[in-house]
Amino acid sequence: MSVWGEIVVGLVILVGLVGIVVPVLPGVLAIFGAILVWAIMTGGTTAWVVFAITTVLLVVSGVIKYMWPGRNMKEAGVPNRALFLGGALAIVGFFVIPVVGLFAGFVLGVYLSELERLSDSKQAWTFTVHALKGVGLSILIELAGALLATAVWVVGAIAV
């Protein structure tokens, strides 16, 4: 692959990394796709080993991303209904207030769901904080896996 091709792959990976933190952009799929294109265009054992390792890292972090924070939120007593309503209002919030509305909508959705369920604003806020911690942990896990995959790609790109 040419230097310009590798620069484009690197930029797509960068967009994917930003997309993990700012969910408006594609995240892990962009990284996976960019490394796949790089492996196809580069060819050879090293490229395919890099692709295999990055795939494992992205899949494992994707599984952990859903299991670990989800278990923590279940243990804290955050119901799925609150997360669903938070997600729905996050989507609405994104269109009402671009980017920032995504976060504000999620917080508002979880809080309103818990307020309706518990009829106590202090408890509702406590459950909302637990949900936010879970989402934050989920983002950190996904970002860690993506950064490790990116590091493997950089090493592979230098080695080839």
Confidence of residue 98 (pLDDT cuts 50, 70, 90): confident
pLDDT digits 0-9 by tens, 130-143: 888 888 898 999 99
User: What contacts 102, CB < 8 A, 6 or more positions away?
Assistant: 23, 24, 90, 91, 93, 94
User: What contacts 13, CB < 8 A, 6 or more positions away?
Assistant: 30, 31, 34, 35, 150, 153
Look at residue 103 in the predicted model and tell me its pLDDT. 87
- For residue 158, pLDDT over 90 is answered with yes
Model confidence, pTM: 0.82
119: left (phi over 0), alpha (psi -120 to 50) or beta: left
